[in-house]
Amino acid sequence: MRGNPPGTRGGGRPHGSGAWKRPPLVTVTAFGSLILVGTLLLSLPVADHGSATPFLTALFTATSAASVTGLVVVDTADHWSPFGEAVILALIQVGGFGIMAMATVLTLVVSRRMGLRMAVTTGSETKSVSLGEVRQLVLGVLWVTLVFEGALALLLTLRWWVAYDLSFVGALHTGVFHSISAFNNAGFSLYSDSLTGYATDPWITVPVALGVIAGGLGFPVWVELWRFSRRRGERRHWTLHAKLTLGTTAALLLIGFAAFLALEWTNPATMGPLSAPDKALTAFFQSVMPRTAGFNSLDFGAMRTQTLLVTDMLMFVGGGSAGTAGGIKVTTFAVLILVAYANVRGEPTVHAAGRRLTAGTASQATTVVMPALGLVLGATLVLMTVSPFTLDQILFETTSAFATVGLSTGITADLPPVGQGVLIFLMFVGRIGPITLASALALRRHGRLYELPEERPIVG
């Protein structure tokens, strides 16, 4: 009796392979629904302090919170009531956790589909993903989220309670809000000037910065770090993903730190009046924020144009995959650098950290980056047409929106409705676009039945 191989149906395809082609669509639908619910809740009279909230303001805030961006058109503490702040916090938590969980599951699906062994998989490789594995991954993401947010909330609450004129309840509220906002790379703050009032307090800025880094690394990297800590006496091979994420993140943090120090050291409106240790502290904090969290301890509106351009580049790259950070992701950036390096050396394949990159990796990275560049530049052109602001201000705003950073030179609220609508679109696409595009490319990859004659055009 002839039957089908285990785990397949009549066509010999794995169970659920057709269903797993639709997670990008599910992600878009779920994310859009979350924004819609948040918009409706923020439009309620109970969500503000008595001033009616326009629909565009509610939509902008809901999109910014759900996409864990942090751009605002109204002051969070002054405009929103405790109910409104709770809605924003819930959108940040659900948005950050949902994106991290979905990206992690998609990573597992893609790795199984391509026959790779990733750090987030255990046991023997198969061609399907079981419900138990998905449940285990989601619970793991939840555990990591709660541990980091809880630890950060404890540190911040104690600092605000002991060192500042806040009651324990007030300190707890402030600590929990900023811990969730930091780990999810949201950048929402209960202070009108973000954290500029605490620029020289390392007990506030350093924990917030570490929370941003932790959320931006991504769940697969934390799985490897956890396994490495549990197997100290055993030989442990890191995956290429973890090596690229950790190495590129460290390099970009160092570059950002040096750039902020060099460019803003003598700026009287930012670092100029600070002592050398305080300058180092603020430079470290600001080098972390483009990872992508919108907190600031210095006024970006007063920074030099060169600093804004460096920040644009850092924001566009963003943080790690399957994490709460946005941007094109550090691994995408690292792959492009490695491909360019191999081409310069005349090597036919790309090698890094003792591994050879698959043939489709470079093309996937390019396909993610090119639409991102087009969106940012196109949006910049539109905003330059409809608003009176300068190129450096608008480019900073559009890059921040697409990379879901939330940093601003202070022009967000002054943009016309069309300009704010463009930012809403950028925040939505920037949050889910790179994830869904990369996974869709990997899931749709298949061989050609034939090849055309080869010809090489002139390049350069």
Contact 105, 78 (CB under 8 A): no
Nearest to 128 by CA among 147, 148, 103, 111: 111
291: confidence class by pLDDT, cuts 50, 70, 90: confident
Contact 368, 438 (CB under 8 A): yes
Lowest mean pLDDT among 277-291, 318-332, 390-404: 318-332
In single-letter form, the type of residue at position 301 comes to: G
Q: Over 70: is that where the pLDDT of 154 sits?
A: yes
Q: Over 80: is that where the pLDDT of 115 sits?
A: no
> Residue 229 has what pLDDT?
73
Lowest mean pLDDT among 125-129, 221-225, 334-338: 125-129
Lowest mean pLDDT among 12-21, 118-127, 148-157, 441-450: 118-127
Q: Count Cβ atoms below 10 Å from residue 254 Cβ, excluding itself.
A: 11
Q: Count Cβ atoms below 10 Å from residue 269 Cβ, excluding itself.
A: 13
- The arithmetic mean of pLDDT across residues 399-420, rounded, is 94
Lowest mean pLDDT among 157-166, 246-255, 322-331: 322-331
Alpha carbons 264 and 272: distance in angstroms, whole number: 7
Report residue 359 as tokens.
Answer: 């043939």
- The arithmetic mean of pLDDT across residues 371-398, rounded, is 95
Nearest to 211 by CA among 181, 238, 247: 181
> Residue 177 has what pLDDT?
95
> Residue 447 has what pLDDT?
59
- The arithmetic mean of pLDDT across residues 234-244, rounded, is 77
Q: Over 50: is that where the pLDDT of 118 sits?
A: no
> Residue 441 has what pLDDT?
57
> Residue 136 has what pLDDT?
74
What residues contact residue 352 under an 8 Å CB cut-off, 6+ apart? 240, 243, 244, 334, 338
3-state SS, residue 272: coil
Alpha carbons 394 and 399: distance in angstroms, whole number: 8
User: What's the distance, CA 368 to chain centroid?
Assistant: 15
> Residue 387 has what pLDDT?
95
165: confidence class by pLDDT, cuts 50, 70, 90: confident
Q: What does pTM read for this prediction?
A: 0.85
Report residue 366 as tokens.
Answer: 């390019």
What residues contact residue 245 under an 8 Å CB cut-off, 6+ apart? 217, 218, 221, 320, 321, 330, 331
357: confidence class by pLDDT, cuts 50, 70, 90: confident
Q: Over 80: is that where the pLDDT of 21 sits?
A: no
Q: Over 70: is that where the pLDDT of 377 sits?
A: yes
Positions of E strands within 321-430: 351-352, 355-356
DSSP 50-99: SSPPPHHHHHHHHHHHHTT----SS-HHHHB-HHHHHHHHHHHHHHHHHH
> Residue 240 has what pLDDT?
87
233: confidence class by pLDDT, cuts 50, 70, 90: low
**Pick the residue with more confidence: 134 or 340?**
340
> Residue 299 has what pLDDT?
93
**Pick the residue with more confidence: 105 or 42?**
42
Q: How far is CA 108 from CA 18, 72, 103, 204, 322, in A?
A: 15, 34, 9, 36, 10
Q: Over 80: is that where the pLDDT of 183 sits?
A: yes
- The arithmetic mean of pLDDT across residues 266-289, rounded, is 95
- The arithmetic mean of pLDDT across residues 389-393, rounded, is 95
Residue 222: phi and psi, rounded to 5, are -65, -30
Q: Over 50: is that where the pLDDT of 427 sits?
A: yes
Domain ranges of the chain: 19-121+129-231+238-443
Residue 237 DSSP symbol: P
Report residue 334 as tokens.
Answer: 């690292």
Alpha carbons 302 and 146: distance in angstroms, whole number: 36
pLDDT tens column, 63-74: 999 999 999 999
Angle ∠(17,369,386) on CA atoms, nearest 5: 120
- The arithmetic mean of pLDDT across residues 386-396, rounded, is 95
Looking at the chain, the whole-number percentage of residues with pLDDT higher than 90 is 54
Beta bridge partners of 48: 80
Angle ∠(403,196,245) on CA atoms, nearest 5: 35
322: confidence class by pLDDT, cuts 50, 70, 90: confident
160: confidence class by pLDDT, cuts 50, 70, 90: very high
- The arithmetic mean of pLDDT across residues 157-172, rounded, is 94
Q: Over 50: is that where the pLDDT of 8 sits?
A: no
Report residue 224 as tokens.
Answer: 């490897």
Selection from 95-109, 224-238, 315-329, 443-457 with the highest mean pLDDT: 315-329
Nearest to 334 by CA among 350, 345, 346: 350
> Residue 6 has what pLDDT?
39
3-state SS, residue 30: helix
Residue 297: phi and psi, rounded to 5, are -105, 0
459: confidence class by pLDDT, cuts 50, 70, 90: low
